[in-house]
């Protein structure tokens, strides 16, 4: 299986629109992720990804096609050595181990290039496959923020999964 994380390019716009415009993807993400996901959203995402330096948002490439995204959000102030990881995979490709492999590559990159000591993910309570992909990458469950997420008119818990710098 050829999964790599790589820079976004303008050629990815059609696949980005095709795969990101999916309610089942959006349901597990924050509302900042657009829905419906239009061509304009894809263009503006890729425009900003192209000028990003250093790269913190990657396309997840499966056999030559961008079928998802993975990125970091650096924290500020006293939390400056922490970063949040976020990712999504196109629905037709779920359950093939792709998120697990993309997270593995992203962790290697992140701890190599940045001084951060803590990478964490915030996962909605129903998203067991995301939690499992994190667990397989050495993340542990640090805590649960009860009723912290309000999405689709439903109140949910949020699971905080963490991995600390190993060296």
Ligand X SMILES: CC(C)(COP(=O)(O)OP(=O)(O)OC[C@H]1O[C@@H](n2cnc3c(N)ncnc32)[C@H](O)[C@@H]1OP(=O)(O)O)[C@@H](O)C(=O)NCCC(=O)NCCS
CB of 6: closest distance to ligand X in angstroms?
A: 17
Segment contacting ligand X by CB under 6 A, of 9-17, 75-83, 95-103, 150-158: 95-103
Determine, following the binding rule CB under 6 A, whether residue 151 of this chain makes contact with ligand X: no
Given candidates 6, 47, 128, 147, which one binds ligand X under the rule CB under 6 A? 128
Determine, following the binding rule CB under 6 A, whether residue 165 of this chain makes contact with ligand X: no
Segment contacting ligand X by CB under 6 A, of 39-47, 81-89, 110-118, 150-158: 81-89
List Cβ neighbours of 81 (8 Å cut-off, separation of 6 or more).
75, 115, 116, 117, 118
Binding pattern for the stretch 47-66 against ligand X, x by CB under 6 A and - elsewhere = --------------------
Query: What angle (nearest 5°) sits at the alpha carbon of residue 100, between those of residues 96 and 103?
Result: 140
Q: Secondary structure of the chain: what % helix, strand, coil (to 5)?
A: 35, 35, 30
Given candidates 29, 116, 156, 162, which one binds ligand X under the rule CB under 6 A? 29
Cα 72 to Cα 62, 65, 94, 118, 155: the distances in Å are 20, 21, 21, 11, 25
Taking phi over 0 as left and psi of -120 to 50 as alpha, with beta for the rest, 9 belongs to: beta
Segment contacting ligand X by CB under 6 A, of 10-18, 37-45, 83-91, 148-156: 83-91
């Amino acid at each position: 299986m050829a999964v790599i994380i790589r820079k976004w390019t303008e050629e990815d716009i059609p696949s980005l629109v095709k795969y990101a415009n999916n309610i089942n993807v959006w349901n597990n993400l924050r509302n900042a992720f657009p829905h419906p996901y239009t061509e304009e959203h894809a263009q503006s995402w890729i425009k900003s990804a192209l000028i990003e330096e250093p790269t913190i948002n990657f396309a997840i490439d499966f056999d030559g096609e961008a079928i998802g995204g993975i990125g970091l959000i650096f924290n500020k102030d006293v939390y400056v050595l922490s970063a949040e990881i976020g990712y999504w995979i196109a629905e037709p490709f779920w359950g093939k181990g792709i998120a697990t492999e993309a997270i593995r590559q992203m962790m290697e990159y992140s701890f190599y290039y940045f001084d951060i000591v803590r990478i964490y993910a915030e996962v909605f309570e129903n998203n067991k496959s995301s939690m499992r992909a994190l667990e397989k990458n050495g993340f542990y469950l640090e805590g649960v923020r009860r009723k912290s997420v309000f999405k689709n008119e439903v109140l949910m818990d949020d699971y905080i999964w963490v991995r600390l710098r190993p060296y």
